[in-house]
Structure 1
């Protein structure tokens, strides 16, 4: 199994002067779900090189078993530091794609032509696509096999309006993810704030929030290794 993980290259939290990026738990937990299952994981980002980690995801309150494991894993850190550029990636080289969240994807992956084209290529190849928390933003402008929005009519989830309000960033983000997906015709569903929640519709897997990152990766893995 070959899994491509795509993380954001965007590090500015709007006009706040604060930093953002990808959420470490949402990268680390899926990374080890795939690795422990024997998959080869390749990391890519729009700009390549070391993607920005949201500093808040490095705080003690945000640490998990997976993030501790990552911080002690030099090989994994080297993999991340040398992410390849999206424009150098071919769908033909991978069995599935998974996108970790963090607020960064709202600014780059949601609008990046290479990201949109790559996710569309996975959809048209009928290969599994996974995204968690804010990363379903990368699905918004993707067109599927019928050239309609990929998410139209699909059951999806992601970081909710209520969760965005709870972290105080409703007026900072360029758009609210829940609203964007609904505008594209998705059947947006969710669980309680911060509780694990995953939707699987065909080959599309989405997770609501950081707590959903490992369950979403496990759901994607089941699509790759059906019993």
Structure 2
């Protein structure tokens, strides 16, 4: 029996200064919005959850370069399905992991802060995996994998091909020192430490995704749509 055709999008609840003038990182809006649209169009019910039930938008993700007019219309419409679910975020305690066939970790640099210790979200992802569902993450969402384990307690990404935001990309953005000040590893370093095979995209900003069985990962904001599409494709192969 295939897992339920229902997806849970995890959202970071952290925020911290990252950009010039002290502007903050938080949820990179399109990394949740684009997968939400993909899943809904593929016939999934979709819920959003963060570790605390709260979120803050990433400043960069709300600029015109990253939030295009159609996306902005949905995000700023408090009556849109996406915005209503964002504004009424679930907590892990309100989620039954067995209800979901896809777990998808959206991101934003803030994910590096809270995802490694997000025990509630990690337990949900681990249960979805144990139930035979698809576990997916985009960009910095891979920070969640520090606590997503299989039935033997091993990281689900161990020995698997994964991608995520590149260390080179962090250098280009000039935020590597800030990440170090958070005492957090880059996604590349974290994946390697968990025994995964990190696969770099052709360039830090190129749309790029990796599928390894029921594990699906994407490299950056431009990869949010293709990663969600790959997660749906992996789900549709399940029996």
TM-score (norm 2): 0.88
User: Is the 8 Å Cα contact of residues 9 and 46 (structure 1) preserved in structure 2?
Assistant: yes
Q: Does 1:225 align with 2:236?
A: yes
**Partner of residue 59 from structure 1, selected from 42, 57, 63:** 63
**Partner of residue 167 from structure 1, selected from 165, 169, 173:** 173
**Partner of residue 24 from structure 1, selected from 4, 11, 29:** 29
CA RMSD, 1 decimal: 1.9
1:18 CA drift (Å):
3.7
Note the residue ranges of structure 1 that are not aligned, 5 or more in a row: none
**CA deviation string 1:8-63 (max 9, x = no partner):** 1101147x9541111111111111011112211111111114x1110110011112
**Partner of residue 8 from structure 1, selected from 7, 12, 16:** 12
Note the residue ranges of structure 2 that are not aligned, 5 or more in a row: none
Other structure's SS at 2:7 match: strand
C-alpha separation between the residues in 1 aligned to 2:168 and 2:120? 30
C-alpha separation between the residues in 2 aligned to 1:162 and 1:129? 25
TM-score (norm 1): 0.93
Greater than 4 Å deviation, 4+ residue runs? none
**CA deviation string 1:192-226 (max 9, x = no partner):** 11001100011010000001100000001112223
C-alpha separation between the residues in 2 aligned to 1:64 and 1:204? 29
1:72 CA drift (Å):
5.7
**CA deviation string 1:125-182 (max 9, x = no partner):** 1210110000011012322122212211010000010011111111111221111110
2:186 match: 176
Q: State the number of aligned residues.
A: 226
1:65 CA drift (Å):
6.0
